[in-house]
Structure formats: structure tokens, C-alpha cells
Structure 1
Amino acid sequence: MSRYDGRSFQNFSTNNGLPVNRFWGLIIAANGDVWLRTFFGSGGVVRYDGAQFHRYTTTDGLADDAAWCARESPGGLLWFGSGNGLTRFDGKTFTVFTKNKDRLGSAVAADILSDRDGVLWIAGEDGVTRHDSVDELWSTLPAQDITLGNNIAAVVQDQRGDFWFGSRGNLTRYTPSRAQPRSPQITVVAEKEFDEHESVAELTAGRRAVLKLSVVDLKTRAESRRFRWQFASDKSSIDASRHARGWLPARRETQFEWQTNRAGTYSLAVQYIDRDLNYSSPTFLTLRVSPVWYANAWITVPGGGAALGLVGWAFIARSLVIRRKREAEQLRERLLEQERRARELLQAKNAELEKATAAAQAASKAKSAFLANMSH
């Protein structure tokens, strides 16, 4: 490697610190660091910070030791393409992206372009993947939509804003559409089905609702469509601009579940993103989440009052029953006492009667004896 300061050249090799002597390209990062990439072998990538060289390989986290291309994106992120995928370096950590239906559309990353909007265009054998690191958006243009052949190896953007793709035996110019796509449709399935044409979707706290998204777009394949959404307490607080905060990362899924345990009114906003990364106007739907019946004050307060009333009446009734039972016991005791006294009185009278009878019998015997003596 040689450095020219305007007057003289300074040469670097393995004799004075350079890890390897063969490189296929280099880039200069915004912070002034020079990144050199090797194409074959186990050279990896080399960073020169102005004082010394630092070498990084698969051991440090690269997807492959042969870096086919390199590019810096807004925010200082560095990207390296290879035959085994894409690698991102944030200054501390390497992150590898391999072929995935929701992210990288190809197994290889042959070339990388950062366009005027800061969006990365990653060329591969199955198409071109776009990545907006601000919105964490990934979207792939299939090769059959933009060129006659596969294995796209190069991508550039001209002054008009058109993109040129080089593939095996073909050169293609692609002019993205700037027309705003249609807004998506929203369907919410809960106790019943609601859509964006209804003023409010009624939901119950703690119960899951299924949200379904759809859109009419004749130019974008289903696998290239993306939706992003957000929930807010007020519709006016939702910013629909491209890099606005509050939006969840765009996804290709058209159905997801949502639930909350907090009652209240929520505004759901959904935006559709087409294959050319054009954002639609948001579609809004108001979700009114009601508490479950046992947590609803309009039910529990009157019901609680009624329950307290029943408890109070039960207490009073119980007191009345106890009081009447006590009075019955007292009456029973009085009757028993009267019966006992009457029995004692009867027994006393019977005793007196027995004494009188005995006395009468004794007198009768005495009289009989007297008369018998008189007759003799």
C-alpha cells in the first residue's frame, strides 16, 4: 500500500507493519481510518488508524475472510460483502447477516452502494436488497423484476437518480417510482370484526385481538411488501414522515396479535411501503379497550353497593333471628318455671290431701272402735 501526501509517496508492506501484501480495494471512513480488503485467502480486512494496522478475520466476527466489497453508511457503520453474506461493523462489534426472507435476499453480497438517501443497495445472485439503517428496513428487489439475468455483481446510481445493475451478460437501468402507494386496509378480529371504515373497534382488556393488514398494489410482489405500525394515545401525536420516531420496524407479516391489560382509547396507525421504498399515507383505526366486567366501575360500584346492602340486610336478619331465638328461650324458661311451681303446688296440695285423708281414716277407725265398745 502507498500513501501520497501531495509531494511524496510512503510505502507500506509486511516489512513495516502491513499484515499482508495483497489487497483488492480500500475505502476511507468518515473518521479518517483506511480500510483495506482482501479478496482471496485468509487476509480478512485491515484498518489503518494513521499510526498502526489492525487486522480482522472470521475469528473476530467477519462473515468471510475474503471481503468482496466495502461501504460506509450514514452514522459511521461499515459494511463488508462476501461470498458468505454481509457483515456490519459499528466500531466495536461485527454482526453477520446471511440469506433470510426478512433481511438479506441473497446468500452473497457482491457489491454495496449507499444511495443519496443513505439507503444501502446490496447486490447478490437473487436480486438487490435495500437496507435503511435508520428505520431498520430491509426490502429485496427480486432479480426477475429488474434484469434479464441473475448474479447481479455491481450497482451504481447516476446523477438522475436511476440505478444501474451489472450482471452476467446484462446491463440494466432501473428507474424507481416516486408515486405514493395506496394506504393499507386494517381488519381487527376480536369479539367481532372491525375495519378502518368503522369509527371505533371495541376490545376487552387482557384479551387478544388479531390485526390483519392488506393493500392493493399491482407492481410489488407480496414478498417485497412491508408494513410498519405504531400505537399512540392520540392520533395527532403520530408523525407519518419517513424517519419519524415511534414506529415499529417494518415487517412483511400481514397479521399479528395484540393485547393490553390497560383499559383506554388507543390510536393504531399503519403505513405501507412498496418495492421502491415509497411510504403510503397512514391508515388510522381507534381502539377502545374496556376493562373486564369485574374491573368495570360502572358494574362493580353498583354491584358492590348491592352486595354491601345484602350483607347489611343479612346482618340485620341474623340479629333479628338471634333476638327472637333469645326471646323464645326466655319464654321457654318462664314456662318451665311456671310449670315447676305449679307442680310443686300440686304436690303440696296432694300431700295435704293425703294427710287429711289419713286423719279422716284414723278418725273413722276410732269411731268404729268406740261404737263397738259401746255395744258390748
Structure 2
Amino acid sequence: MIVVAGEALIDLVPSSQGPSLDGQLPALLPRRGGGPYNTAVALGRLGSPTAFCSRVSTDSFGEALLNGLRGGGVDTSLVQRGAEPTTLAVADISPDGSAGYGFYADGTADRLFDLPPELPAAVRALSLGTCSLVLEPGASAYESLLRREAARGVFTALDPNVRPGLIPDPDAYRARFRSWLPHVALLKLSEEDALWLAGRDTTADGGPDSGTGGGAAGAGTGGDPGAGGGGRAAVLAAAREWLAAGPAAIVLTHGGAGLTVLTRDGRELTVPGERVTVVDTIGAGDTVNAALLHRLDAHDALSYAALAALGDKDWEDILRFAARAAAITCSRAGAEPPYATELAA
């Protein structure tokens, strides 16, 4: 079983682009979301035995979130409940389909997550990331979960999915991120996240902002929206430093240009993205997380040693599978990851 731990929230997505001709703002449509939540649903749809570990509100949004998990075949026995409201994320969809978010998270249920007892013996992998590792007091509980389960040999995967607007002290967060690396087997992140974590971000708002699910790895109709030139060199240099700190492999996503894996033994392999007409990129990065874990399981590589031993052909298969999955997610509105049957076709 794969456990995904982290926040579940409601995305409020505009029903149309910008104000109407009469100046009226578009309606906001509620959609189930949150990076870890989307990852769990995507894993369930792909057919991986999956459980979700979080704290979810008892309000109507919380019930809808649980129903979405159950509908995807995800085990909810590790979900804690609370009367506090559900976190909301208001989306701003750009013409190219990328999404920025404003978060309403004060006093919400998922921030009060408590460290659970040791996970069941059947758990083979633990995936974490996004807001849950930023917002206290829950962030410290999720961090403790990561460290504890890694220490007992559980395969761990991390997707920081950086949200700079939620991080009051960037340097402190970067140091905290580096402290997690000895406990992480697989690190997945976008180029934008990597630049920000390396302290080399140059965007106007001080960090990446590419939607709840991160960049649209493996999908697009335009050019590569990721880092170019010196930015790419900075990303690779930072990734090599992070590899030396612990992970067996790092997967970088490059928007429509595809994905790259860097391994601890010095290998680097890139696969192109799948070309598709992008509706939006919501949930694309989360789909990549799920597809990587699902395909690694198919290669019997949900252990640090097995991950380190994968060959180039294995990685090409895994990355191409993730690119196809992300492309399907980008081809439809909202975080709607594919089912196994769609990828088989």
C-alpha cells in the first residue's frame, strides 16, 4: 500500500476567463483539490492500493473530499476529522492554462493534523508535500511522520510544490527542506520550485506559482515554460547538491518539455512531453507524483536500493508513463487524473 499524507482542500475555479462584457465577475466553481489529495486520487485511479493520511473537516466540503477519495478506491481509515472549516484555494487561470492560487487557510482543519501511530506494516511507500509541510502546527507533525517512517525503512517521496505566498521566511524554509533530504528516497519538483529552493528565483512575486498540482509536466502546445540558459544550469547544480544529501533520484519537470531524472550515481535522462491542447494545468504535477509511484511499483522499485539500481530503460519507461498521464490531466478542466484504462489505450 502507498500512503499519501497532506492537505485536502477545495479549489474555487473561475467558470470563465476574466470579467464578462457587462463587467460581472465569473462564478467560482468548487473543485476537490490539494496536492496530496490529488496524488492519492490519481494513484487510486491507476489501480495502486492507496490510503490517504490527513485531517479533514466535518463540513460539507470535507464530506465531498472523502467521497472523492472513496470513489477513487482510496482507503480513508487514516483520515482524522475536525469541526474546523475546509481550506479554500481561489484559482486564477492564465490564458496558457497555468493556475495561480490565493489560499484561505487560517484555522482550517488540515492545519491541526496530529502525528498518527506507526503506519500499518503493509505500507510500502509514503508520499508528502505542498502546503502541509509549511502550515503549522500540522507541518511539524507531517515532518515527524516523514522522519519516523523513513527510519523504519518505508520508501519516501517528496514533492515540495512550493507556494511562496504561504512561506513567511524563505531562507528558514529552504534550510528545513534541506533537512528533509536525508530522509527522502525520491524527490520530485518542477524547475520553478528548484530555482526557488536554490535561492535563484527571478519571478516578480518571488517564487513559482503554477497551480495546486505544480507545473504541467509532459503536456502543452507551446514552448518550454521552465528555466532556460543559466536557470537550467542552476537547477542542475542545485539538484546535484540535493542528491548528495540523501535522495537516490530526483525527477525534474519542465512543463511542456517533459521530465528529467538525475540519479545519485551521476546519470541524467530526459524524456519529452506529450503534446496536447492544454485546458488547464491543475493537478498535472500531482498526476506525475502518482504516475511515478505507480510505475516504480510496477518495476518493484519502491525501496531505496531498488530505486538506485534502476537502469536507463527502466527510467525511460517510468518517465514516459508519467508524461502521458500528466498530458491527459492537462487536456481536461481541473484535477481530473486518468484511469489505468486510459493509459493502457
Compute the TM-score of the two structures, normalised by the length of structure 2.
0.25
Higher share in helix: 2
Name the structure with the higher strand share. Answer: 1
Larger radius of gyration: 1
